[in-house]
Amino acid sequence: MRVKIEESWNYVLNPFFNQTIFKSLTDNIKKEYRNHIIYPKGNEIFNAFNLCPFDNLKVVIIGQDPYHGEGQANGLSFSVNKNIKIPPSLNNIFIELKNNYPNYRYSNGDLSRWAKQGVLLLNSILTVRKSQPGSHGKIGWERFTDYVIKTISSQKKNIVFILWGSFAKSKADIIDKREHLILESSHPSPFSAHKGFFNKNHFIKANEYLNHNNIKIIEW
């Protein structure tokens, strides 16, 4: 089936889009949007892909599901739009960035500038009901995003996968460690950040790996 997604992604993901499981997923999602308040907006579900074409991909940062508060989710994991208060997890990400780069400055939580440089900000679950975190965990999104991760792993080389928290780290088993760099830590949430998220230097390590493989680094 035809999906409104960036062309290079459409090409590599088309085998999944043509499976009955994806039709079932889209039918369920359409029903959810008709009957509930769902985030992000329908035209932003594939934002992570549309801003970061498969051909430009350098880094994958895996989240769980979108923010469930009004106006927060924008289709990019951990990101919010410029006019939205920075959530606690993202604030801790910025703190770690300043640990990596003491002169780092930011004015908002919009991470689209990362996406446009080749960072896929991928939530494993792409939609959520308002005020109900994890509410779309059984709807079929993980079958799709696992396929995305496996496709990246098998068709690309020298990608940096950044896995924060036990949920993201569970995806390490479907990534070829011989071809890619995997960086793992605890989640940046206030509940776990002090258990091993800070001072891991993932942003520096990602750029060192890219530079070593003659790939343009990310301006975080």
The label of the residue with tokens 């960036």 reads: 6
User: CA Rg, the chain, in Å?
Assistant: 17
The label of the residue with tokens 């410029």 reads: 82
* C-alpha span between 138 and 24 (Å, rounded): 12
Active site residue 110: no
Cis before residue 133, ω within 30 degrees of 0? no
Q: Where would I find the beta strands (DSSP E) of 52-167?
A: 59-63, 119-123, 128-129, 160-164
**Identified catalytic residue from 65, 110, 173, 176:** 65
Nearest to 149 by CA among 61, 29, 78: 61
DSSP 8-state class, residue 60: E
CB atoms under 10 Å from CB of 177, counted, come to 11
* C-alpha span between 123 and 145 (Å, rounded): 8
Residues identified as active-site:
65
